[in-house]
Chains A and B, each alone.
Chain A
């Protein structure tokens, strides 16, 4: 399949490109990118081009990458399958996603990794990069076989959902993972401090009578992991940063030249704990929605590059997980189909410019996970997201491709949406 995309504004932070250009895709790769392609191609050999798409008014970016999703399969297919998860991904503009290992069984072994990759290949929508567990069953006791998992295809290590409480185990994981170029992604939460907590600890937890999760439960572990990275001269990636304190710790670590990277999720720069007043379980996430000051600090962290990545922590759930008392409800937001539009608000409110945002949603996650993605360079995989920046739309859970209809954003007015998602040169989603 050959595709010529014309008329759009092309933004590729990896090449410092932000201008009107054409882009030509051939055999799953980006064959050419430039201003005069359409003329030259047409005049020379128009029969070679299968399809020309005029994308005037649109923005072309390197395929978006979400490095923090939960695909639930194997084990929790009622929440999401790999097939429904990748369908949601391409509908949300993501050409690649990395999925956390907390399935059942946990992805702590070669066969589970291979299963995930096989299922993803069958679905043939977005690229799926499995993340392997740090510890067997993510129980925080015994390391998994990193080398074997890497050969099976994992791109990173994490016990996401179950923080590694044992600092010595974390140190070993970071040392061993670093030597294999496997980034370790840390879910930072001291479970002794957060134990039993249901929402951010503060005024709203007090008036709602819900037990609190203090910011320090996250920050203490961010500090610990930074110290381990510094001492062992390794790297660490901090998942879903939610507090001002974490932003300060990471900023300081980066200033000192440490190999620390970090991500946050759209809900942490969009919502605060004030939204929990209705006890709507769709607002229940872990880490919890924080205060207004935390939200401000997250935006500052995004603006000054303390936070490298926006990843939505896509956590689909079934109705029975959410339609219960707040205390018993599962944590998480089904985020793949709202992540881009929520992140585009950062451009509208001038927190980020376009290249900065795209770097956080494509270039940087590719770099952190060592993926040969996140650029529109000639020769690169033809993973492309086309965004209509002005499209007005309303979130409607019923149209979600994800099985997880758990979103606090249902009914929200949005501006900007992925209208065309191309993976490996093939159109996988066309919402025009």
Chain B
């Protein structure tokens, strides 16, 4: 974390956990239980959040909800033109998506382009009955007609700010930070 950036913590460990608990209940409420429900986390931040949601939902329902991992790199709309290719992560969806309600999980919803790529990818795996979207942070600035079904926190931000979600699994700490680009 660079020192010359102006950073502000906007959500701490407990805040994140409370958000995820609420989202878990909202998912179950909206879908009337976990019948036909699967979670798919978008690499990388979304995967850890999806794992936490999986645990919360499984605890509530006393049954394990299936979890898939999706790397959307190959579906990005800037990939063909990009000069150097980003490192690929593994995609792992070990179950059929046909007629399932898929809850996509990501950390931050911003332009919507990642979600567009994720939806294209999901459809290559099968024909889900419905795709829903759960995000920890919605920071606005959409460039595509996409909205989230489950939102941890709306965080209006300016374009010269960056929103970063740190998670224990990734950075050793749970917090959401706004950084001002210097």
Indicate whether A and B are direct neighbours in the complex (CB within 8 Å): no
Which B residues contact A (CB, under 8 angstroms)?
Answer: none
